[in-house]
Structure 1
Amino acid sequence: MGAAAAESSGDDEGPSRQEMFETISNERRRMVVHSLQRDGATDLRTLSRQVAAWENDTEPSAVSAQQRRRVYNALQQSHLPKMDDNAVVDYDHDRGTVEPTDSLEELTVFLEIVPEKEISWGTYYTLLGSVCLALCSAVALGVYPFVLFGMAPTALACSLLLLGSGLVHRYRSERLSLGTGDLPSEV
């Protein structure tokens, strides 16, 4: 673990919330996280070739020496030392190896930040539950025009809404998770 992380997070508690956000604030670092979660420990050369491939929308074997070198230098000089300091990876500069730490898994929680113009899934499900409860209550109490729908069709509609929402939520969560699938969520 890097010295800065040991100082800022107390004993050996892992990276702070700020360090986690700092780590995932950069697209290249998110690509590193994705690669390490997907493939595990690697060497800097292989990692830089993979990140360059994602950045250039090509296969690793088709990455030019210049593209790989540009990513290699940025990872070696900036990103990996920062990630090591934040205890997200173990980066051995001398050997050129990069290994995930236990803290790497915690980063997925920080990626579920709600975009600026959207509501959180928790708020969405609370609103959906409230609407379904109101509809079922209106039908049960005989409120016109809701009484015309009947309880069974209303309950079925609410169930289908919940199921559909759950499927969309699962799809979006898996798509945005680093370390799953072939490509990071940005690519």
Structure 2
Amino acid sequence: MSHTEAAFETRGNGSETDEITRDQTFTMLSNRRRRWVIHYLKRRDGGPVSLRTLVNTISAWEHGVEVEKLSWKQRKRVYTALRQSHLPKLDDAGVVEYDSNRGEIVLTEEAEKLQLYLEYVPERDIPWHQYYLGLATIATALTLVTWLSLPPVSELSGLALSSIITAMIVVSAITHVYHARNSRLGSAEEPPR
């Protein structure tokens, strides 16, 4: 039995399961360094990554400098946190396979399931469900005002009204797809904050 399989068996309320719970997911993703580990590994397309490479990359992201400009202390802080805390937690959850003896980390297929919980809402942004509720309200109001023949839309034909509403939905959908792709771990150059 692999280390990942053993972690699955001891997860949750003691019953056997092969899925990460919602609480475990949010706990894992609550730490920026763990998000960065997942982000970096997803960008590597499944191959093993050395702990040294991971430490250098995350240290550079954290301090906003190039790897060559990192001090020994900056690297050491990240190394210690990754080796003693973050990588073992991700390994226990089955998101990564961390071989501490070889200093190698590999992303598991279980990490793909984390994306379900990652439609995050950046500061000064509204959740997409609220956006679409507002869009539906605007479309309903336009339809009602046109039906009641109230100015300024009283001159709109049914075709014009449906074209406006369709355009609003298409533009919103394209924007949503673009936003969702950029918020996926491993899809952008910049790490998630």
Find out whether 1:143 has 2:146 as its counterpart: no
Superposition TM-score, scaled by structure 1 size = 0.85
CA distance in 2, matches of 1:57, 1:19: 29
Matches within 5 A, 1:7-86: 7-9=10-12, 10-39=15-44, 40=46, 41-86=48-93
Go from structure 1 to structure 2 and tell me whether the alpha carbon gap of 1:112 and 1:27 turns closer, same or farther (over 3 Å shift). same
Contact 2:59–2:75 (Cα < 8 Å) also in 1: yes
Shift of 1:20: 0.9
CA distance in 1, matches of 2:160, 2:68: 56
Shift of 1:110: 1.1
Which residue among 104, 112, 120 is the counterpart of 1:105? 112
Shift of 1:115: 6.3
Shift of 1:2: 7.1
Shift of 1:5: 4.2
Instruction: Name whichever of 116-125 and 159-168 sits farther off.
Output: 116-125
Superposition TM-score, scaled by structure 2 size = 0.83
Contact 1:36–1:99 (Cα < 8 Å) also in 2: yes
Find out whether 1:128 has 2:135 as its counterpart: yes
- Structure 1 residues not aligned, in runs of 5+: none
1:41-62 deviations in whole A, cap 9, x for unaligned? 3011100101011111122333
Which residue among 177, 182, 187 is the counterpart of 1:175? 182
- Structure 2 residues not aligned, in runs of 5+: none
Contact 1:5–1:14 (Cα < 8 Å) also in 2: yes
- Give secondary structure in 1 for the equivalent of 2:10: helix
Amino acid at match of 2:9: A
1:117-175 deviations in whole A, cap 9, x for unaligned? 86532343244234324423542x35322322333332232222222222322232222
- Give secondary structure in 2 for the equivalent of 1:8: coil
Q: How much identity, in percent, do the aligned residues show?
A: 36
Instruction: Name whichever of 27-36 and 119-128 sits farther off.
Output: 119-128
Shift of 1:28: 0.3
Q: CA RMSD in A?
A: 2.4
Contact 1:42–1:98 (Cα < 8 Å) also in 2: yes
